[in-house]
Amino acid sequence: IAMSLDTLGVSSEQRAAVDKIRSDLHARMEQARAAEQNLETALAEGLSAGNFDTTKVDAAAAQVAVAAAAVHDASPSALNELHAVLTPPQRAALVDKVEAHWVVWQKANADETGPANPESHLAMLATDLGLTTDQVDRIRAGLGEGMKAVPPLRAEEIATHLRAFGDAFRSEKFDAGALTTAGGANAHLAGWGAAHMAHFVETVSPVLTPDQRARLAERLREHAAHNPSAQGNQ
C-alpha cells in the first residue's frame, strides 16, 4: 500500500495528508523491517564465519513472521484515514496497484504452483559473484533437495486477503480493523520469504569461495542497512 501511494497521483490538496499516512505506515512496519534486518545479519555472520548458528537463524526467521503478523494490527487508523482522504476512483486505483504488486512479486518469487523458485535468485547470484558453471550446477543440485524444507507458498491465502481488502477498500465505508485475514496472510508471506532466504543462503555457502562468501555477506549487510522509510517516498 505504501509503495502504491508513490504513483497514485493525488491532488495537491491531498498530498500532505497522504504523505503523513505513508510515513505512518512505514513507521508501523519498522518492527517487521528490524526483524528482517536481524535475519540478514545472522546470515551474513554465518557466511563470514563459514558456519551458521542454525538455532539463531531459525529463531530470526520465525521472528520475521511474528513481526509481520503484527503490522496490520498496528495500522488500522492509518488505513482508515487513507480511505477517508482518497476519492472513490483513487481507492479503486490503489487496490489495482496493490494487486499488480502481488502479480509482480509472484512472477519474481514463485512459479504457478506456489513452491519456492530459486532459479531466478541463482541466476542473479551467478552474475553478482561470478560463479563458475560447476558452482552453479552444485548449488542447483543442493537447492533441489534443500528447498524441500521450505513450506510451499499458499498463494490462495494471500489472494483471498487481497480480494477481501480490495472489496472493502473500494466500498464507501471501510474499517481496516474488520479485515480478519490480514495478520495470517502477512505472517505466512513474510515467514515463507524468511525461510526461503535462510535455506538459500545456507545451501549456497559451502559451494562459494571465501571471497564469494565475503561478498555475499556484504550484500546482505548492505540490504539490512537499507531503510526505505528513511528516504521519504520509496
Question: Residue range 33-44: average pLDDT?
Answer: 96
Alpha-helical runs (H) found in 74-225: 76-85, 88-109, 119-129, 133-146, 155-170, 182-204, 210-225
Largest interatomic CA distance in the chain: 58
pLDDT level of residue 73 (50, 70, 90 thresholds):
confident
Q: Is the pTM of this model over 0.85?
A: no
pLDDT tens-digit profile of 76-93? 999 999 999 999 999 999
Q: Report the distance separating Cα 83 and Cα 213, nearest Å.
A: 46
Q: Which pLDDT belongs to residue 117?
A: 52
- Residue 93 CB neighbour total at 10 angstroms: 16
CB distance 128 to 35 below 8 Å: no
pLDDT level of residue 114 (50, 70, 90 thresholds):
very low
CB distance 168 to 95 below 8 Å: no
CB distance 78 to 28 below 8 Å: yes
pLDDT tens-digit profile of 182-231? 989 999 999 999 998 999 999 999 999 999 999 999 999 999 887 554 44
